[in-house]
Structure 1
Amino acid sequence: MTDTALVIGGTRFIGRHTVDELLAHDYEVAIFNRGNHEDPFAEDDRVTHVEGDRKDETALRAAKLSVEPDVVIDCVAYQPADVEAATEIFADVDGYVYISSGSSYAAEEIPKREGETPLEPCTDEQATDDSHETYGNRKAEGDRAVFAAAEEGVAAMAVRPCIVYGPHDYTERLDYWIDRVLTHDRLVIPGDGQNLWHRAYVEDVASALRIVAERGEPGAAYNVGDRRALTLRETVETIADAAGVEAEVVAASDDALAAGGLEPDDFTLYREYPHLLDTCALADLGWESTPIDESMARTVEEHRESDRDGSEWDPGREAEERVLGVMDTL
C-alpha cells in the first residue's frame, strides 16, 4: 500500500526538493499552501494541490481530512504556535517532521550536538515576531513544541539544517559567490578565508526529512549538514572547480577591507565563530550526504540556467577593487 505525504509549503526551495524526494520514493504527495508562489508541480498529476493558509486551523484540518496523510513535512512553521497547532491536528499520523534550524542553538560550541548544546530561549514577544533577529528563538521554541507533543504520544520530530544551498535557492547567498567566480578572475574573501559556516545541500535536507519521517524517534531532533564542511576559501575554490574556471582568491585582513569601506560581515556566508553541526544521529538512521563535488556541480549548473546573481548580497565591486589594490601593494 502506498503511503501518502502532505507537505506544508512545497513549492519554493526545501519544500520543492522534498516533494521530488517523496515522489522518487513512491509516495502519493499533496502540497498545502496559499498559492502565492509559482508551482513547479502545477502540471504534475502525481501531486495533489490543496490551497489554504497554514495559519488557518480550519483549512489545515480540512487538508488533513481530504489528504489523509501518513506523514507530514512542515516546511513553513515559523512561529511556535504553528507547530503547536500542527502537532495537535496531525497527532495521529505516522510521522510529523518540523523543519527547525541550526540557528536554534544558543551556545557557540564545535560541533553543536542535539540534546547537548543549549537551545535559544524564547519570550512571548519573540514567539509572535517575524523578524530575522528572533528566527533562532522561534525555531527553538518550535523544537520544544515538538518535544512536548511527543511526550503526549505524537510521532513528532525536528530536523535542524544549517545554511541550505542548492538548485532553486531563492535566498541567493551562494549565488553571490558563484556569480563572482563566473564573472571575475580575482575576488576578495574576508579574513584568512578559514572561517567556517556549515552548509547543507538541499537534496540531502530533503532526504533527511523523508528518512526522519520514516525512521526517526518521536521527540528527537536531527542535525543535517554536509559531511565535509568547507571553509569560505574552500567553498570558492570548489565553485571554481565545478565551473571549470580559474579564480584567484584574495584573503583580505580587516585593515585591507577598511580601505574599501568594507567589513568582514559585509560578505555573505562569513561567520567569525565556526558553526558546525554534528550529524551522527541522522547518519545512524541511514542518511548519507552527497559528495561535495557533486552537490556543487549541480548547484553551479542550475545557477547558470537561472537569472539569480546574488546581487542583494553584493558589497560592491568598486569597493573590492580598492581592497585588491591595497593587497597588491603588500
Structure 2
Amino acid sequence: MDDALVIGGTRFIGRHLVEELLEHDYDVTILNRGSHENPFVDDDRVDRVEGDRANEAALEAAATTIDPDAVFDCVAYQPRDVREATRIFEDCEAYVYVSSGSAYGREDIPKREDETPLEPCTPDQATDDSSESYGNRKAEGDRAVFAAAEQGVNAMSVRPPVVYGPHDYTERLDWWIDRVNRFDRVVVPGDGTNVWHRAYVEDVASALRIVAERGEPGEAYNVGDRRLVTLAEMVELIADRLATDIEIVTAGPRELAAGDIELDDYVLYRDYPHVLSTAKLADLGWEATPPAEAMERAVDAHLESDRDGSEHGPDRDAEERVLGILDTV
C-alpha cells in the first residue's frame, strides 16, 4: 500500500498516525473540516482535502479524487458514519475504524476481542452524541465493520482504551502531571491499586498502520500498554520523569468525604479494573513502548504546553481538607 487517507488527522491520534505513515513512506491525504490548526500545513508530503466526514458527498469526492489504498477513520462517532464509509471505500485495500475499549459490554479481565460481548445499541443511542452512549455507538460501529467484511470489504477495527501522550487535548493525564509537578503530597483515590488500561498514542498509531497492512478483514484488535501500571505507579512514573520526590497519600471514601470528594471525581480512576488483552495485535508483529519511556514523552510534552488539566479532578483546597483529616489519624 502506498496511498493513505486519514479522516481526521490534525489533533491527537490522527496527528500521530499521519507521522507514523510518513515514517513508513506512505503518501498521505487528510480529510477534515479545517476547524483545528493543521500541523502539516508546511509539509509537502501531506495533502489536505476540506470536508465534513458526516457529509456523504465529501467522502464520495475523496474516494474519487484520491483513490486511497488505505483509509483510517479516526472520527467516526456514529454507526452510520462507519456504514457510509465502508460502502464508499469498499474497493480500498484496507479500511480501519478507530473504535474503543468502551465498546465492550461485560467486565471481563482481560477483555478479549473474540470472547467479550459488545455493548448493545438502541436506535436512539445510535444517533446520540452524549458521553453516556459513546461505548454503545462504538460497538455498533464495530458491528458495521463486521457486516461490511461479510460483503467483501477489507474492513477492520482497532480498540484502544484511554489514550495518552503528546498533543492530548483531553488533558486527562495533564491533571495528574500538574499535581505531581506542583505539590509534594499527591492524593490518590482508593488504595492506589486501581487499574484502568491506557494506550500510548504512538503505539495506537503504529497499531492502526500494522492492522491495515497485516490484519484480517472483519477482525477487531485491542491496543494498549503491554505492561499495565496502577494509578499509584503512574504517579510514580510522572515523579521519576520530573525528578521530584513526592508522598503518595491514598484516601478512601471516608477520608475523601472531608473534602466533599468522591472516588470517581478523580480522572483516570475506575472502580473495577479495565484491562484489554493485546495478544492478538502482538501476533501481527506490533510492539508497545515501555511505560517509563512513554511517560517521559508525555511529561515532556506537558511541560512544553500550557495544558494543566484544570477541568478535571478535585480542587486543591478540597484535597487539603482530606490531608488534614489524614494527618490527625
Corresponding residue number in structure 2 for 1:269 = 268
SS at match of 2:298: helix
Post-superposition offset of 1:253: 1.4
Which structure 2 residues correspond to residues 16-165 of structure 1 after superposition, within 5 A? Answer: 16-165=15-164
SS at structure 1 position matched to 2:97? strand
Q: Structure 2 regions of 5+ residues with no counterpart?
A: none
1:175-324 counterparts in 2 under 5 A?
175-324=174-323
1:314, distance to aligned residue in structure 2 (A): 3.1
AA in 2 matched with 1:194: T
Amino acid at match of 2:202: E
* Poorly superposed stretches of 4+, deviation over 2 Å: none
Distance 1:50 1:247 in 2: 48
CA distance in 1, matches of 2:97, 2:228: 24
**Alpha-carbon distance, 1:64 to partner:** 1.4
For 2:301 and 2:54, the matched residues in 1 are separated by: 33
1:203-233 CA distances to partner (integer Å, 9 max, x unpaired)?
0000000000000000000000001111100
1:257, CA displacement in angstroms?
0.2
Percent of aligned positions with the same letter in both sequences?
Answer: 70
| CA-based RMSD | 0.6
| SS at 1:311 equivalent | coil
Deviations 1:278-330, CA, capped at 9 Å, x for gaps? 00000000000001111000000010000000000031100000001111112
- For residues 229 and 108 of structure 2, what CA distance do their matches in structure 1 show? 17
1: CA distance between counterparts of 2:242 and 2:157? Answer: 35
Paired letter, 2:207:
A
> Matches of 1:86 and 1:243 in 2, distance apart?
44
- Secondary structure at 2:138 match in 1: helix
CA distance in 2, matches of 1:296, 1:27: 28
What amino acid is the match of 1:93?
C
- 1:136, 1:247 → 2: CA distance? 36
Distance 2:280 2:71 in 1: 21
Comparing 127-136 and 2-11, the one that deviates more: 2-11
In the alignment of these two chains, the number of paired residues is: 329
Q: How many angstroms apart in 1 are the aligned matches of 2:19 and 2:278?
A: 23
User: How far does the alpha carbon of each residue in 1:224-260 deviate from its partner, in whole angstroms, 9 at most, with x for none?
Assistant: 0001111100000011011111111100111100011
Paired residue type of 2:225: D
CA distance in 1, matches of 2:63, 2:19: 21
Match of 1:15 in 2: 14
Tell me how far apart the structure 2 counterparts of residues 187 and 292 of structure 1 sit (CA, whole Å): 20
Between the aligned partners of 1:173 and 1:40, the Cα distance in structure 2 is 22
Deviation at 1:187, TM superposition (A): 1.2
- Tell me by how many angstroms 1:56 deviates: 1.0
Per-residue deviation, 1:192: 0.2
Q: Which amino acid aligns with 1:66?
A: T
Look up the SS of the partner of 2:96 in the other structure.
strand
What is the DSSP-based 3-state SS (H/G/I as helix, E as strand, rest coil) of the residue aligned with 1:103? helix
Aligned-partner Cα distance in 1 for 2:104–2:58: 32
Q: Which stretches in structure 1 are left out of the alignment for 5+ residues?
A: none
Equivalent-residue separation in structure 1 for 2:71 and 2:16 (angstroms): 15
Q: Deviations over 1:1-31 (max 9, x none)?
A: x700000000000000000000000000000
Task: Give deviations 1:149-192, integer Å, cap 9, x for gaps.
Answer: 00000000000001000000000000000000001111111110
Q: Does 1:166 align with 2:146?
A: no
In the alignment, the residues of structure 1 paired with residue 243 and residue 65 of structure 2 have an alpha-carbon distance, to the nearest angstrom, of 49
Q: CA deviation at 1:68?
A: 1.3
- Distance in 1 (CA, whole Å) between partners of 2:290 and 2:184 is 26
